[in-house]
Amino acid sequence: MTFPWVRKIFFLSGLLLFLFLSKNKMERQYPLPYPHFNALITQFSGLQDPVFISFGFRALAADVAWIQLLQNMGSYGSEAASGKNYPSLKEETLRVTRIDPYFTRAYLFGAATLAWLKATNRPDEAMEILKEGISYNPSYWSFRTVAAGIGYMKTSQLDNMIRMLEDALKDPNCPPTIKSVLANSYKAKKRYADALRIWEAVLQSPQDREYHDRARNEIPLLRESLRHPS
């Protein structure tokens, strides 16, 4: 004679086994769209990000992490002038993108700053960020364009780099770092009108406000160069 509680135990055990096998099969066939919790970078925020995500606020967690990254960078123009090299920028960028791997602007900002800011000059770390971005956003063409531009920079192919950055400029998420690099490259090639066009656009863009002072300095110099070309 079988006791009712024994049948319940067998039933529950079978149900748990079924759920476990189903979960594994689903994960193999339909990979999760977000990195595993183990991939989150918590050295800067402790449990802040996992708690936000656990309560269903992933987008908010990414926005807060992004704001904190920008705050840590401080005033971009003045920090760049001071020579600060942002030693944890790669990790802080990946903190944002592992919360939300579709936060394309964060990938571009981190990679561009690491690759082209003279004080950082860490293109290999920039490429690591872009590689991870491409793995989650394979159809987002700007990542490959910026990666190609970094590759040409590393091999001193200025004309090819300029072409890559011109394509990147078409992206509405193009960070001001890339715009600055392209304008400086135009200036080096004595394409003053093209450089002026970029700085004027930067000055009119609210999202590029950290570069407004730089634009105000460059615009009169470029206008003078156009009036009196060397």
**pLDDT value, residue 37:** 76
CA separation (Å) from 147 to 133, 157, 170, 177, 211? 11, 14, 15, 14, 23
Q: What is the distance between the alpha carbons of residues 230 and 102, in angstroms, rounded to a whole number?
A: 46
Length of the chain (residues): 230
What is the band of 126 on the pLDDT scale with cuts at 50, 70, 90? very high
Best CA proximity match to 81, nearest among 215, 214, 229, 230: 214
pLDDT at residue 159 is higher than 80: yes
Mean per-residue pLDDT for 180-209?
94
230 vs 66, more confident: 66
Does pLDDT of 82 surpass 70? no
Provide the pLDDT for residue 8: 61
pLDDT in tens, 15-68: 555 555 544 444 444 355 787 878 888 888 888 888 888 888 889 999 999 999
Q: Where residue 106 falls among pLDDT bands split at 50, 70, 90? A: very high
pTM: 0.77
Higher confidence at residue 42 or residue 110? 110
Per the CB < 8 A criterion, the answer to whether 77 and 214 are in contact is: yes
